[in-house]
Amino acid sequence: MFTQDPATAGTRPRAGDARRDVNAAAVLRTVLDHGPVARSRVAALTGLSPAAVSRQVVDLTSLGLLRERPEPATPGARAVGRPQLPVDVDTDRIAVAGLHIGLPSTHFAFLDARGNVLHQRELSHRGRTGPAVLRPLLARLPGLLAAVPDGRTVVGLGAVTGGAVDREHGVIVRHDPLGWRDVPLRGLLTEASGLPVHVDNHARALTQAEILFGHPAARRSVVHLFVAHVVDAALAVAGTVHIGPASPTGDVAHLPVPESDALCPCGRTGCLAVAASDTTLFEAAAAEGITERPDRAALVAAVQAGDPRADRLVRRRAEIIGRALALLADVVNPDLLVLTEHFSCLDPAYLDVVRTEFARRSRLRRDAGLVVAQRLGADVLAVAAGTPALGALYARPVHALTS
């Protein structure tokens, strides 16, 4: 059985350090959004003085987060005085590592400072659940981290999974498919890796990735729905991902789906968690003889081969998802709805089914164009895995790299 994590949050920064981090974060985020960009432009966008921006650029460059670009900020312009070299996010010197722990497997990845995937691999759980999932993973982690490409420095480790996750204490409160309760994941991974570890729910992590690197509307307000073996959602307003009391963002898993009679572990029937989950979809495909066993790759192959029975199953789930998104949109009324679901990312036709059902069901009559599929494709789990570490880096860059 797992033991309780004795780790606590980091020490409180001094007032001067906090101000330094606030300014550093403002400069780093501005360069992320606009780079390569001249320092004078960074000053205008952040409201900081040119001298303050220069100090932050020097610090962030020394930490491996920024670099000067060799070309002038305004190519072709006549040089007056000392040329001003633009600065950009340095994607060559550091990396973060990440683990996305799902039901069938764990995805391990390295990301650069812009969230680009440098390397990833999938580690099968071989049907394990409970404590047996983590034991081989913890044993392999040092070797995985040692394979960082290009001699980069690994500055943090992200770890994400579904269910209720206490981000502050790094504990997985509940993950029903894995059979986890109160797993002190941060403490276990810190001991195995020696790195700063940042644990979060995968829907919240992908929402943070959308804010950092994705659709501009996500900076205003966004709802993200994650549909796989676990069904999760996350909400962000004004660039901040919401975390509710007792750590969950909320629980959409038990939204009712009236047309479904699937039995949920909670004792009710027709909960979204079972009506829309990968487990239910793959089992239905096997039960109808579309695939030999409940398996994602086999169902994808059947869909791509044009099997009408496979198409019907996937479309039925797309309609269920569209209804759930309509309800979320009517309750929250966000600027953007992001869907992470394998078949909608695989084929735009299934996203169209989601959008059609969304438009039909939404009482606010919102434009179905606000529903977008996650644009990361095959990299989605890798990016989710590393984003908690990247989010900490962009929120407090000096603290993250010097504490």
**pLDDT tens digit string along 347-360?**
999 999 999 999 99
Q: What is the mean pLDDT of the chain?
A: 89
Contacts 24+ apart (CB under 8 A), 309-318: 310/285, 313/281, 313/284, 313/285, 313/288, 314/281, 314/343, 314/350, 315/350, 315/353, 317/227, 317/276, 317/281, 317/343, 318/343, 318/344, 318/350, 318/351, 318/353, 318/354, 318/357
**Residues β-bridged to residue 68:** 87
Cα(235)–Cα(328) distance, rounded to whole angstroms?
Answer: 10
> pLDDT: is 58 or 83 the higher one?
58
User: What would the mean pLDDT of 55-83 be, rounded to a whole number?
Assistant: 76
User: What would the mean pLDDT of 161-167 be, rounded to a whole number?
Assistant: 91
Report whether pLDDT(14) > 70: no
Cα(390)–Cα(394) distance, rounded to whole angstroms?
Answer: 6
The CB density around residue 99, as the number of other CB atoms within 10 Å, is 27
User: What would the mean pLDDT of 378-385 be, rounded to a whole number?
Assistant: 92
Q: How confident is the model at residue 82 (pLDDT cuts 50, 70, 90)?
A: low
CB-CB contact of 42 with 52 (8 Å):
no
pTM for the predicted model, two decimal places:
0.86
Write out the two tokens for 335: 């600027």
Highest mean pLDDT: which range of 6-10, 307-311, 330-334: 307-311
List Cα–Cα distances, 36 to 54, 76, 154, 239, 367, in angstroms.
Answer: 15, 16, 24, 22, 34
Report whether pLDDT(36) > 90: yes
Spatial neighbors of 378 by CB under 8 A, at least 6 apart, are none
Contacts 24+ apart (CB under 8 A), 290-298: 296/342
Window from 75-89, 224-238, 370-384 with minimum mean pLDDT: 75-89
User: What would the mean pLDDT of 223-231 be, rounded to a whole number?
Assistant: 92
Q: What is the dihedral of CA 145, 147, 148, 151, to 10 degrees?
A: 130
Q: Tell me what pLDDT residue 17 has.
A: 67
Whether the link from the prior residue into 131 is cis, omega within 30° of 0, is no
Cα(236)–Cα(27) distance, rounded to whole angstroms?
Answer: 22
User: What would the mean pLDDT of 218-232 be, rounded to a whole number?
Assistant: 93
Cα(185)–Cα(46) distance, rounded to whole angstroms?
Answer: 37
Cα(306)–Cα(357) distance, rounded to whole angstroms?
Answer: 22
Report whether pLDDT(248) > 70: no
Nearest Cα residue to 186 out of 175, 195, 177: 195
User: What would the mean pLDDT of 332-350 be, rounded to a whole number?
Assistant: 94
Contacts 24+ apart (CB under 8 A), 371-375: 371/322, 371/325, 371/337, 371/339, 372/215, 372/336, 372/337, 372/338, 372/339, 373/338, 373/339, 373/340, 373/341, 373/344, 373/345, 373/348, 374/206, 374/338, 374/339, 374/340, 374/345, 375/214
**Residues β-bridged to residue 271:** 256
List Cα–Cα distances, 265 to 174, 184, 270, 304, 380, in angstroms.
Answer: 13, 24, 11, 32, 28
The CB density around residue 91, as the number of other CB atoms within 10 Å, is 17
Report whether pLDDT(32) > 70: yes
Q: How confident is the model at residue 41 (pLDDT cuts 50, 70, 90)?
A: very high
Write out the two tokens for 344: 């909608």
User: What would the mean pLDDT of 134-155 be, rounded to a whole number?
Assistant: 96
Q: Tell me what pLDDT residue 18 has.
A: 79
